[in-house]
Amino acid sequence: MKLQLTQFAIDRHWSKSFKGTRVTRMTPDEFLGSLNAHNYVFQNGYADFCKIVCGPNTPQCRTGTIPITIENYQYLRSGYSSRTPQEFAVLSRWFELPLPPPVANHLILVLYTREQLLKEHEAQWSGKTCAGQEADVPFELDEDTDYGIVTILAQMESEVNPIPPVTIMRNALGMEQGGSGVPIDPEAYSKSVEFWSQNAIVRS
């Protein structure tokens, strides 16, 4: 089974400005090569096209999420941002800590099937223009790629954190808005609200 990093993942997790898990000790090619050295167990994600794998934190990424406490509450920040220029900006919050967070115990990858990524690409770019010019953005995955890596999560625990509420909402808005087209699951949304009311991502 062939995995490939999506450009979406590269633009986020190798960016100095990204407010989440950042990979700083490996290039994208080195990171992808390290994945082949381990046998990952695939788990079902939030939809049929989504898979989750958990493995060792080979690149020594620092944890991207920590609990909110009375001691660190003063470092909590909020603001509007979008993941890509094509998406609406949404309100999010994160920690800006005076010291780096600890190195995570686990690395969790969120994978989408090639077919799903192709659908989202066509929905976002079909008939769109960029700076007055017709958008010409080729689909990025190789023909023999089975899954594209869309998210990298460095965590202290091995169970994947719930999808943030705003991401669940964006998914329900549809592919044209950068989502996946999956309707809101009330139970999953409630669990997400509970978790993210007590935790926040770390801008490292």
* Cα–Cα distance for residue pair 65/202, rounded to 1 Å: 6
How sure is the predictor about 35, in pLDDT bands with cuts at 50, 70 and 90?
confident
CATH of the domain at 162: 3.30.2310.50
Residue 133 is predicted with a pLDDT of: 45
The residue range of the domain holding 27 is 3-202
Mean pLDDT of 48-71: 93
Under 8 Å between Cβ of 105 and 64: no
Number of domains in the chain: 1
Q: Are 25 and 36 in contact (CB under 8 A)?
A: no
> pLDDT: is 121 or 60 the higher one?
60
User: How far apart are alpha carbons 55 and 35 in whole angstroms?
Assistant: 9
Looking at the predicted structure, is the pLDDT value of residue 75 above 50? yes
The string of pLDDT tens digits covering residues 159-170 is: 899 999 999 998
The one-letter amino acid code at 18 reads F
Model pLDDT for residues 127-181, shown as the tens digit of each residue: 554 444 455 667 788 888 999 999 999 999 988 999 999 999 988 887 777 788 8
What's the mean pLDDT when you consider all of the chain?
87
128-150 as b/e, with b when 16 or more CB fall inside 10 Å?
eeeeeeeeeeeebbeeebebbbb
Cβ 8 vs Cβ 150: under 8 Å: yes
Q: How high is the pLDDT of residue 135?
A: 53
State residue 179's pLDDT score.
80
| pLDDT confidence of residue 186 | 95
Q: Residue 37 has what pLDDT?
A: 66
pLDDT at 92 over 50: yes
**pLDDT at residue 27, as a whole number:** 96
